[in-house]
Amino acid sequence: MTCQSSESSETIEGDWRADSSHRTVESDESRIASAMKDLRNTGWYWGGLTANEAKELLQDASEGTFLVRDSSQRDFLFTISAMTAAGPTNLRIEYKHGKFKLDSVVLVKPKLRQFDSVVHLVEHYVQLSHASDRAAQPQPAAAAAPNGTVQLLLTKPIYTATPSLQHLCRIAINRRTRRVEELPIPNRLKDYLTDYAYNV
């Protein structure tokens, strides 16, 4: 029979907590690094653009035009700046427990979907916007709802520069199939397609 003092068991438990915390930090760092890599590949990530600069870019754009930029608020990493029926608006993207989701009022937060990457989040809302566009009946000019809310549409990104033809082809292919590995193309092209597996 062996005995162990409470002091040594506390040390072991403390070491386990520190190790678990360290793994969480590493996991968060790798997830954020991966999110940054994907964002840089999009062409519509504007980095340190300010809210006022984003507003200027969106001022004459059609509803649904958007870009992603670094958040100016310390508690958030990224912000979507989008043109709505009420004018340019900013939506913060929250990162918590390894997932990204839109910041919202407390009552709505639990209902919002969470995503592994910012691009996946944007892709989801772009698809929802296109689906709602197709389902919507022709209506008079869009306006804010009586309660002051506006519908969020993400339909057209603002690129920092003209995207390459290769990138646009990659997006078009990703819109048609998620089974890139089955395409009759060289492995080098499959690698290029899977490096950015989004359709926006």
Given the structure tokens 């997006």, which residue do they identify?
171
d(CA 155, CA 122): 10
pLDDT at 151: 73
Which pLDDT does position 84 carry in this prediction? 92
Among candidate residues 134, 32, 116, the one with its CA nearest the CA of residue 77: 32
**Structure-token match 């700046």, residue found:** 81
Q: Which amino acid is at 141?
A: A
Distance CA 10, CA 199 (A): 50
Residue 112 tokens, joined = 């919002």
Residue type, 2: T
**Helix spans in 43-151 (H):** 51-58, 118-135
User: For position 143, what pLDDT does the model report?
Assistant: 40
Domains and CATH numbers, the chain: 11-135+150-159 (3.30.505.10), 162-200 (1.10.750.20)
Burial class (CB in 10 A: 0-12, 13-18, 19+), 10: exposed
Please state whether beta strands 156-157 and 99-102 pair in parallel, antiparallel, or not at all (unpaired): unpaired
- How many other CB atoms are there within 10 angstroms of residue 172's CB atom? 10
Report how far residue 54's alpha carbon sits from residue 52's, in angstroms, rounded to the nearest whole number: 5
The mean pLDDT values, 10 residues at a time, for the chain of 200 residues are 42 47 67 91 95 95 96 92 93 92 72 90 92 54 46 91 94 89 91 89
Residue 160 Rama label (left phi>0; alpha psi -120 to 50; beta): alpha
Pair 117, 38: CB distance under 8 Å: yes
Q: What is the pLDDT of residue 142?
A: 38
